[in-house]
Amino acid sequence: MSTSIHVVVSFLVVVMIICFNNSIPTFADSNLFIEISNDMSSDHPGIFFIYNLTGTHIPLVQGQPWSITTDSATPKYCMIFWDILCSNFDLYNPSKYGIHSKTYWSVRTDGLYNSYDKGKWEKKESWRVRGYLGHCD
């Protein structure tokens, strides 16, 4: 009798552990590597971006790629500024482009290119003229 209760309790504990593990929010994972590099054809100082709407201006210097390891479950945004130009785009969006473990962005004079393997690059965004008060709408 006590053995079967023990078995039932053990089973319930296992079920609870499985449920608890599944309920751990996915933002706790660190399965995504994002890298942004400044690949302008010549030196254009003063390029900076804002990662995921955090408000912090991060300079993007030639030869010094910026990277982050973060969760692969939620979208990440980027707002990048180059003089009077800017772009406001999805750095990573699993519902739009699928889940990936690595995503690379190359910032070029003619726009923003994306790659998942640093081999095949695809132009995803163009520069736009900044709007009212310099905002990137």
Ligand X SMILES: *[C@@H]1O[C@H](CO)[C@@H](O)[C@H](O)[C@H]1NC(C)=O
Nearest approach, Cβ of residue 110 and ligand X (Å): 27
Q: One symbol per residue from 76 to 95: x for binding ligand X (CB under 6 A), - otherwise; what is it?
A: x-------------------
Q: One symbol per residue from 41 to 60: x for binding ligand X (CB under 6 A), - otherwise; what is it?
A: -----------x--------
Q: Does 99 bind ligand X (CB under 6 A)?
A: no
Q: Which of 70, 103, 106, 114 binds ligand X (CB under 6 A)?
A: 70
CA–CA gap between residue 53 and residue 27 (Å, rounded): 17
Nearest approach, Cβ of residue 70 and ligand X (Å): 5
Cβ contact 137:79 at 8 Å: no
Nearest approach, Cβ of residue 32 and ligand X (Å): 9
Cβ contact 82:44 at 8 Å: yes
Residue in this structure with the two tokens 């310099």, named with its chain if needed: 134
DSSP 101-126: SEEEEEEETTEEEEESSSSS-EEEE-
130, amino acid identity:
R
40 or 73: CB nearest ligand X: 73
Q: Which of 10, 15, 27, 83 binds ligand X (CB under 6 A)?
A: 27
Q: Does 114 bind ligand X (CB under 6 A)?
A: no
- In this structure, the strands spanning 48-51 and 85-92 are unpaired
Hey, how many other C-beta atoms are within 10 angstroms of the C-beta on 38? Answer: 23
Q: Which residues contact ligand X (rule: CB under 6 A)?
A: 27, 52, 70, 74-76
